[in-house]
């Protein structure tokens, strides 16, 4: 399997009373009340350093993402981050994974086609092109996308982008949302007709169906951990089977918060404050910024209303040990973590593990030691999983060759 490092680039020094001052991590926090641009400059640099460190340590891919107007993660343009990563990892066996730029928020979307093509060129064909629809608040509030048009814009934009990447002739695009008279993209991606396409989703809805129909890779980005993911991933595999797709685990990517230390007790201790910071301050988003009328299509809306809303988990009340016990955050000794990961990745049939090795207020030194331990003592055990039976068709072709067995010698 492929084991990648995901980074949100959060604000790391929020005031202790942040969640009393604001009822949301999104939209409401006032920059001049809580933030400091000098510090943020340091965060961007740390984030890039941490990702480059992960590449050197042996992680297979580096993931960036796009969010706006929040304290939880603000790589407002992930291509800016990835251009540094692409350049900084030249010659290394590591994928640049954008999951990614949000098409409906960018007009015209050929801008993203260009940025991704630049990244693929700089990296020498190591790009994974991820296309999230975007969180409701990011798309509709921060970027003024009409809620009921978000998904149809997404589909049209993706069709335009993929055509623009590979069209041999100049073409006109006369769409519902986008009109371009002469499309002749410069540059084009090295990977033709297009780099591998990954599409994130939090549940199984029309987006997951779209992914399976188009034979892309589905990224289940959940913060509730592998322990609680089977309901979604089982439905995904049922959907794939129903649509006539095979059971290749590389059709699925999964995100997990992970903290590794010398012993279980030490890990529980050192990652506790950062886990609580993540779930108490950064994931603090009220329903009215998530359930914006129109962001769910009509059938999905009825489905969501019909399933009596689960007793809402009150994240603010969970202590670190609860977060560990519930599996939201996976912490422990290398042995504990790799045993759990092995079990869950097999059970869920995950081909790409996106490990969030930085979360919350974690300082850069701790993040790097987490990366080092994980890369040295966990990753080599996971890497061989699936490779005997399945080919990763959703990975840059140049990086598909089997990695040298030497990596296993560490174990």
Partner 1 sequence: MAAGETRRLRLWQGRIETEVEIAGEGLPLVYLHGPWGLPPDRPFIARLAAARRVYSVRHPGTAPGDPEAIHALSGWLDLIVYYGELLDRLELGAPATIVGHSFGALVAAEIAAAAPKSVQRLVLIDPIGLWRDERPVKNWMLLSEAERRSSLFADPASEAAKNFFAVPDGAGERVDVLSQFVWAQACTGKFIWPLPDRGLKRRIHRIAAPTLIVWGEDDGIVTVDYAAEFSSRIAGAEVEIVGKAGHLPHLEHGETVAKAVLAFIGR
Rounded-to-integer distance, Cα 237 and Cα 230, Å = 10
**266 near partner 1 (CB under 8 A):** no
**311 near partner 1 (CB under 8 A):** no
Taking the complex as a whole, the smallest distance from the CB of residue 237 to partner 1 amounts, in Å, to 28
Count of residues interacting with partner 1 (CB under 8 A): 23
Q: With contact defined as beta carbons under 8 Å apart, do 95 and 395 qualify?
A: yes
Give me the phi and psi of 360, to 5 degrees please. 60, -135
Taking the complex as a whole, the smallest distance from the CB of residue 293 to partner 1 amounts, in Å, to 4
For tokens 């304290």, the residue is: 71
**147 near partner 1 (CB under 8 A):** yes
- Which of 49, 149, 209, 339 lies at the binding interface for partner 1 (CB under 8 A)? 149
Taking the complex as a whole, the smallest distance from the CB of residue 309 to partner 1 amounts, in Å, to 11
**148 near partner 1 (CB under 8 A):** yes
Q: Near partner 1 by CB under 8 A, which window of 79-87, 195-203, 293-301, 368-376? A: 293-301
Give Dmax (Cα) for the chain. Answer: 62
**30 near partner 1 (CB under 8 A):** no
Rounded-to-integer distance, Cα 407 and Cα 145, Å = 46
Q: With contact defined as beta carbons under 8 Å apart, do 234 and 208 qualify?
A: no
Q: In the stretch 111-140, what mask flags binding to partner 1 with x, by CB under 8 A?
A: -----------------------------x
Rounded-to-integer distance, Cα 102 and Cα 312, Å = 28
**141 near partner 1 (CB under 8 A):** yes
- Which of 57, 301, 407, 411 lies at the binding interface for partner 1 (CB under 8 A)? 301
Q: Near partner 1 by CB under 8 A, which window of 99-107, 126-134, 145-153, 331-339? A: 145-153
* Conformation bin of residue 372: beta by default, left when phi > 0, alpha when psi is -120 to 50: alpha
Strand bridging mode 179-183 / 171-174: antiparallel
**159 near partner 1 (CB under 8 A):** no
Q: With contact defined as beta carbons under 8 Å apart, do 37 and 386 qualify?
A: no
Beta carbon nearer to partner 1, 45 or 303: 303
Beta carbon nearer to partner 1, 193 or 299: 299
Beta bridge partners of 352: 2, 253
Give me the phi and psi of 253, to 5 degrees please. -115, 150
**290 near partner 1 (CB under 8 A):** no
**286 near partner 1 (CB under 8 A):** yes
Rounded-to-integer distance, Cα 210 and Cα 215, Å = 8
Taking the complex as a whole, the smallest distance from the CB of residue 157 to partner 1 amounts, in Å, to 16
Beta carbon nearer to partner 1, 294 or 384: 294
Taking the complex as a whole, the smallest distance from the CB of residue 310 to partner 1 amounts, in Å, to 15
Rounded-to-integer distance, Cα 320 and Cα 146, Å = 38
Beta carbon nearer to partner 1, 221 or 301: 301
Rounded-to-integer distance, Cα 29 and Cα 35, Å = 9
DSSP 263: S
**175 near partner 1 (CB under 8 A):** no
**23 near partner 1 (CB under 8 A):** yes
Write out the DSSP string of 353-409: EEEE-S-TT--HHHHHHHHHHHHHHTHHHHTTTTTTT---TTS-GGG-SPPPTHHHH
**152 near partner 1 (CB under 8 A):** yes
**28 near partner 1 (CB under 8 A):** no
Residue numbers at the binding site for partner 1 (CB under 8 A): 23, 140-141, 144, 146-149, 152, 176, 286, 288-289, 291-294, 298, 301-302, 305-306, 308
């Amino acid at each position: 399997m492929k084991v990648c490092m995901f980074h949100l680039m959060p604000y790391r020094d929020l005031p202790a009373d942040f969640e009393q001052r604001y009822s949301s991590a999104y939209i409401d926090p006032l920059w001049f009340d809580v933030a400091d641009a000098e510090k943020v400059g340091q965060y961007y640099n740390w984030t890039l350093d941490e990702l480059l460190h992960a590449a050197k340590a042996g992680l297979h891919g580096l993931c960036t993402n796009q969010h706006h107007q929040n304290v939880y993660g603000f790589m407002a343009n992930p291509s800016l981050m990835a251009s540094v990563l692409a350049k900084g990892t030249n010659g290394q066996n590591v994928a640049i994974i954008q999951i990614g730029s949000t098409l409906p928020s960018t007009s015209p979307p050929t801008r993203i086609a260009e940025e991704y093509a630049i990244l693929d060129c700089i990296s020498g064909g190591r790009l994974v092109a991820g296309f999230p629809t975007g969180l409701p608040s990011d798309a509709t509030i921060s970027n003024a996308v009409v809620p009921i048009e978000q998904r149809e814009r997404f589909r049209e934009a993706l069709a335009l982008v993929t055509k623009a990447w590979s069209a041999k002739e100049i073409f006109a695009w006369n769409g519902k949302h986008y009109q371009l008279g002469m499309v002749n993209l410069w540059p084009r991606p090295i990977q033709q007709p297009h780099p591998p396409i990954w599409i994130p989703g939090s549940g199984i809805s029309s987006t997951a169906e779209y992914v399976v129909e188009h034979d892309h890779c589905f990224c289940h980005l959940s913060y509730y951990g592998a322990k609680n993911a089977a309901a979604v991933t089982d439905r995904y595999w049922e959907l794939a089977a129903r649509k006539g797709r095979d059971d290749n685990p590389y059709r699925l990517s999964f995100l997990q918060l992970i903290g590794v230390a010398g012993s279980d007790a030490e890990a529980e201790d050192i990652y506790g404050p950062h886990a609580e910071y993540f779930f108490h301050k950064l994931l603090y988003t009220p329903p009215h910024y998530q359930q914006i009328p129109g962001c769910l299509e009509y059938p999905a809306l009825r489905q969501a209303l019909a399933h009596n809303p689960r007793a809402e988990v009150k994240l603010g009340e969970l202590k670190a040990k609860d977060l560990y016990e519930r599996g939201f955050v996976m912490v422990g000794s290398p042995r504990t973590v790799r045993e759990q990961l092995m079990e869950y990745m097999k059970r869920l049939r995950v081909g790409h593990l996106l490990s969030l090795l930085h979360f919350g207020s974690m300082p850069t030194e701790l993040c790097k030691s987490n990366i080092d331990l994980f890369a040295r003592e966990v990753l080599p055990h996971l890497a061989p999983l699936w490779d005997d039976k399945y080919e990763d068709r959703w990975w840059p072709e140049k990086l598909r060759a089997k990695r040298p067995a030497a990596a296993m010698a560490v174990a």
